[in-house]
Structure 1
Amino acid sequence: MAITLRRLSHALGAEVCGIDIAAGVDDNTFAAVHEAFLKYGILLFRGQRVTREQHIAFSRRFGELDRHDNLPRDRHPEYPELLMVTNAPKANGQPGDGKYTGQLWHSDMSFTLVPALGSLLRAITVPPVGGDTMFANMTMAYEALSPGMKRLVENLEGIHAGGVRKIVDLSAERAAETRRLNPPVAQPVVRVHPETGRKALYIGEKVKSFVDMTEAESRPLIDYLCRHASRPQFVYRHSWKPDDILLWDNRCTMHLALGDYDEGELRHLERTTVLGTPSGRYVE
């Protein structure tokens, strides 16, 4: 099948037109999709009425999928490859754990030893207004740094924490489980993309501190880098429609769920996560 691409913003992103994921994607088409993925960092597939099985199968074309053992409460009970991004209430009436998912600037699974290569998020039910997601081009952000700042961050490692999000009914037991499943992981602040060879910042609001530095010493630089990377010229804002599938490259982007919608409106999306290459190490 022949595809065409429509740019989504100056910073990053392209819509892939002329593709039907449910009907299957041949090798030549997939090669073109993969080339666009590396070029634009984000790909949008609109109007994709797929089953969960088809969503998973298409995702596997990009690599091995994470079964989300680090986030067992958030994955689908029958499809561990699917992470539920939903504000649907629990059976007891309390808000779902996913209500606040993603409302910090981050790259997916950065708090693991094998952080995500890519994520494919499918919109099933979205609010009529809001519920947007913002993405930042971390390659452009790195390249815009001064030579002195590049030298400063080149060899730093950020300590990423997996439990940095709001959970409505957080108990001591739940907090202990989170710490056990997701001990702190150090990641390089500057990563070289394994396919394009370009350098990108690897930072976000889940970074607590830098290795061999205190949190107080680290915070001003973490805050600066996050603010710098999320400047408007580096950012794309996505407004979701039902049956959107959005694919992004976690190795050179970070993102933020805005939470800009009425809390009474249902927002339900499902995500697959493509495993990347090992880059982290456990730290105390």
Structure 2
Amino acid sequence: QQIAFARRFGEPDDNKTRRTRNPHFPEISTVINKPKLDGSPADAHWGGSDWHSDASFKLAPTGITLLHGVAVPPVGGDTQFANMYLAYETLSDGMKKLISGLEGVHVQKEKLLDHSTPERLEESRRSMTIAHPLVRVHPETGRKSLYVGEKVQLIAGMTPEESRPLIDFLCTHARRPQFIYRHQMKQEDLLMWNNPCF
């Protein structure tokens, strides 16, 4: 049902990450926040463990994302969203001017890359690293939003030492409480969001 619903908005992406790919439905990623019994991290994707925009490491990032609560804990497990429109709009004019035209280099998490062979690891590193403008313009509304998160490791054309303070400032600014929506997942909840906005 979820895949059929998603198809109303376009063709779902196949999940290329073997560790998170649902074996029966390649369009679905399994997101688990529950550690193993021994306390070590779960094998599947630790969704929500960082602030990010889905698939930002792709040339054409995800437009719409769905999250279905299948097994939800009685407490915790909240999903948070930062309104990146408001994050951009509340920057000073000077900061807007500074970041206009700059690109953030988005890198997929190392643990989610294909480690099956050294060649596949190197290829997945290359294919899951890309630069996107720090300021996105929504293709339909023309509204500007900030496009930064913890997958942004560098500002294109800057050194890591120059990049890090700017990335940290923008990420911290975007996580201000007034920009955050927190959703407490309940069993069978289905969240859908316009990924370029968050």
Q: TM-score, normalising length from structure 1? A: 0.63
Aligned to 2:167: 222
1:156-191 Cα offsets, whole Å, 9 max, x none, are 000000125x67xx9965786454224221111101
1:30-78 Cα offsets, whole Å, 9 max, x none, are xxxxxxxxxxxxxxxxxxxxxxxx1000011111211012x12211112
User: Given the superposition, is the C-alpha separation of residues 211 and 203 from structure 1 closer, same or farther in structure 2, using an over 3 Å criterion?
Assistant: same
User: Given the superposition, is the C-alpha separation of residues 104 and 175 from structure 1 closer, same or farther in structure 2, using an over 3 Å criterion?
Assistant: farther
Q: Which sections of structure 2, spanning at least 5 residues, go unmatched?
A: none
Q: Which sections of structure 1, spanning at least 5 residues, go unmatched?
A: 1-53, 254-284
Larger Rg: 1
The question of 1:59 aligning with 2:6 is answered yes
Look up the equivalent residue of 1:207 and give its one-letter code.
V
Deviation at 1:101, TM superposition (A): 2.8
CA RMSD of aligned residues (A): 2.5
Look up the equivalent residue of 2:11 and give its one-letter code.
E
1:93-125 Cα offsets, whole Å, 9 max, x none, are 964333633311100000011101010010011
Aligned to 2:32: 86
Q: Distance in 1 between matches of 2:183 and 2:108?
A: 25
For the residue of structure 1 that corresponds to 2:22, the secondary structure is: coil
Work out the percentage of aligned pairs sharing the same amino acid: 54
Q: Distance in 1 between matches of 2:61 and 2:46?
A: 21
For the residue of structure 2 that corresponds to 1:119, the secondary structure is: strand
Of the two structures, which has the highest relative contact order with CA contacts closer than 8 Å and spacing of 6 or more? Answer: 1
Q: Between Structure 1 and Structure 2, which shows a larger proportion of strand residues?
A: 1
- Aligned residues, how many? 195
Q: Is the 8 A contact 1:158 1:186 kept in 2?
A: yes
Q: TM-score, normalising length from structure 2? A: 0.89
Look up the equivalent residue of 1:226 and give its one-letter code.
C
User: Given the superposition, is the C-alpha separation of residues 234 and 179 from structure 1 closer, same or farther in structure 2, using an over 3 Å criterion?
Assistant: farther
Q: Distance in 1 between matches of 2:20 and 2:4?
A: 20
The question of 1:239 aligning with 2:163 is answered no
Aligned to 1:117: 63
User: Given the superposition, is the C-alpha separation of residues 187 and 135 from structure 1 closer, same or farther in structure 2, using an over 3 Å criterion?
Assistant: same
